[in-house]
Amino acid sequence: MTRRFLSIFPFFERGHENLKLGRLIANADFFKALLRSGSFDEYWLSGPAWTQVQHIPTALNELGLSHLPPLKILPFAQLPKILQTTPFHACHLGGWGYFMAGLHNLRQMYACEPFPITAMIHSLDGKTIFDQAVRLNYAECAPFDAIFCSSRAGQSAMQHLNEQAKAIHGRQFCGQLPHIPLGVDEDLLRLPTDPSDLRKKMRIEPHHSVVLVPGRISSSTKMDLLPLLRHWNQWTQQAPFDKTILVIAGGAESGDLQQLSRWIEELGLRDTVRVRANFPYELKASLYSMADVVLSPSDNTQETFGLTLLEAKLFGKPVIASDWNGYRDLIRDGIDGYLIPTYSAKPNWASWWELFDPVLAQFYQSQMVGLDWGRLKTNLQNLLKEKTRATALGQAGAEHCRQHYVWSQVIHQFTQQWQQLKAQAAVSESKKAAKTYYPSYEQLFATYPTTWLGPTTRLAWAVDQPIPQPNPEWIIWLDERCLKTLLQHAQPEFSLAEAAEWCQVGAEHLGPTLAWLIKAGCLKVC
């Protein structure tokens, strides 16, 4: 039996040069590992937007694989027909929030045989995800569906999230929440490295140590760097920090970058802090190779996993990180790095919570997360002084990473899960009907148009009005076969029911194509 993999959410929304978010990097590396080491016979890919579907071949090429397994790329609108005739082994999504509930409904309505729908958790922000969880729990899904949780803390958060969402309407997500980590791409080690040249370009003396802070530069959605900079301003007055450069490197929007530059200027840190924002992918290996210690004092709830920590371990660098969410799954305190205790408090803004913008809410939450800066300083100081100790921790981390967290190893955990879930789907008696969450267009806006097209609506072709090229995002919803059939019948006047009979489709199926022809001026209502 042919084992087919399906995804309706592209794992590579953008090319490598735009991979600034951990989610985008993790999804691209995940799919690269799946194509290289997965066990499927065919991979079927689609996307909600035509521009995304068109980008898939380019993105596949950017993965740099010497060989690709059989791939099929299809427009979104073809999914119902495909599901009716083609059995799938599994469908995996790059994120659970947007498409999992909708795909469950499509599967229940059209699939010729059941298959598991799975997805990853990434950022959990507390507000946006709750709205998504309410919709997912309303759909309920099937017991052989799963949301893969990359960390134990993230797994716990998803359990609480579903319990709270259930309280809204009494329905609950029926799927599973297994803990499976993300991986790191071993190809990073094959990138060209020239740390000496990078030091020169960044004005770092050969005898200076480097503490690297990798990751997206954002106080609202990643980590607040201001407390670190304030402490750095104090520490650099004493050894070994007086001969150490703090390097902050990651993707950044212009506003966040301007704010960071202003902090550095106000604190007088231009000589001891360097910023490398929006660097090219090829520079990543040199940045890690240049570092003596990698530091990540994350304080934001969106930090569910910690991909940069794995990258640092892959390059044999000791890591000092917050004892925070997924970080504690990746760093073994005292073995390959150090975890710094974190502290938080219950907020005093409960009555204001409903009014907060999601991004602002994330920032407020992060402002209530504090670190043990004394312990961080001591651990960092010791690693900078004791090079042998730092090397030993880095080597232990590299070995641990290669054994447990490289994608060639981790991808098999996903494959095993899909195998088990598909076996459960094959014997499941779950026949839950689709539960659409959003009201339909025609219900919500029933009083908007003058007339809704129906079977008895009479139509006529406009004189000398050629059919124009449709908008690329709309073309996938036009039925070209029906369009050709209508042109062949070329009667001066006809009803929608007659047109549907000529095309051998239902009137509802043909309606959007006819409405667009009216919009383009090619048809008119009699």
| Mean local confidence (pLDDT), 470-493 | 86
Distance CA 277, CA 116 (A): 40
| Mean local confidence (pLDDT), 311-325 | 97
Residue 13 has pLDDT above 60, yes or no: no
- pLDDT band per the 50, 70, 90 thresholds, residue 9: low
Of the candidates 260, 270, 254, which has an alpha carbon nearest to the alpha carbon of residue 203? 270
Residue 432 has pLDDT above 80, yes or no: no
Which residue is associated with the tokens 């007659």?
Answer: 498
Could you give the domains of the chain?
4-183+410-427 (3.40.50), 186-405 (3.40.50.2000), 441-525 (1.10.10)
Q: What is each CA distance from 407 to 188, 415, 418, in whole angstroms?
A: 12, 12, 16
- According to DSSP, the residues that pair with 43 across neighbouring strands are 5, 71
What pLDDT was estimated at residue 11?
59
| Mean local confidence (pLDDT), 227-242 | 96
What pLDDT was estimated at residue 122?
86
Cα four-point dihedral sign 378, 383, 388, 393: positive
Distance CA 127, CA 354 (A): 9
**Is there a contact between 340 and 371 (Cβ–Cβ < 8 Å)?**
yes
Distance CA 125, CA 302 (A): 5
First to last CA, the chain: 53
Residue 15 has pLDDT above 80, yes or no: no
CA 411 to chain centre: 17
What pLDDT was estimated at residue 22?
67
What pLDDT was estimated at residue 10?
59
Residue 18 has pLDDT above 70, yes or no: no
What does the block give as tokens for 511?
């309606």
**Is there a contact between 151 and 120 (Cβ–Cβ < 8 Å)?**
no
| Mean local confidence (pLDDT), 363-380 | 95
3-state secondary structure 478-501: CCHHHHHHHHHHCCCEEEHHHHHH
**Is there a contact between 441 and 452 (Cβ–Cβ < 8 Å)?**
no
CA 282 to chain centre: 22
Q: Which residues, other chains included, contact 50 with Cβ-Cβ below 8 Å and sequence gap of 6+?
A: 75, 76, 472, 473, 475, 476
What pLDDT was estimated at residue 49?
80
- pLDDT band per the 50, 70, 90 thresholds, residue 21: low
Residue 429 has pLDDT above 90, yes or no: no
Lowest mean pLDDT among 364-378, 409-423, 479-493: 479-493
Distance CA 219, CA 420 (A): 41
pLDDT tens-place string over residues 329-343: 999 999 999 999 999
- pLDDT band per the 50, 70, 90 thresholds, residue 430: low
Q: What percent of the chain has pLDDT over 70?
A: 97
What pLDDT was estimated at residue 354?
85
- According to DSSP, the residues that pair with 210 across neighbouring strands are 245
Distance CA 296, CA 72 (A): 40
Average of per-residue pLDDT values in the chain = 92
Distance CA 283, CA 373 (A): 30
What does the block give as tokens for 97?
């929030």
pLDDT tens-place string over residues 154-183: 999 999 999 999 999 999 999 999 999 999
Residue 229 has pLDDT above 90, yes or no: yes
3-state secondary structure 214-251: ECCCCCCCCCCCHHHHHHHHHHCCCCCHHHEEEEEEEC
pTM here is: 0.92
Distance CA 350, CA 340 (A): 28
Lowest mean pLDDT among 70-84, 268-282, 307-321: 70-84
Residue 91 has pLDDT above 90, yes or no: yes
Distance CA 353, CA 334 (A): 39
Residue 255 has pLDDT above 50, yes or no: yes
Residue 214 has pLDDT above 50, yes or no: yes
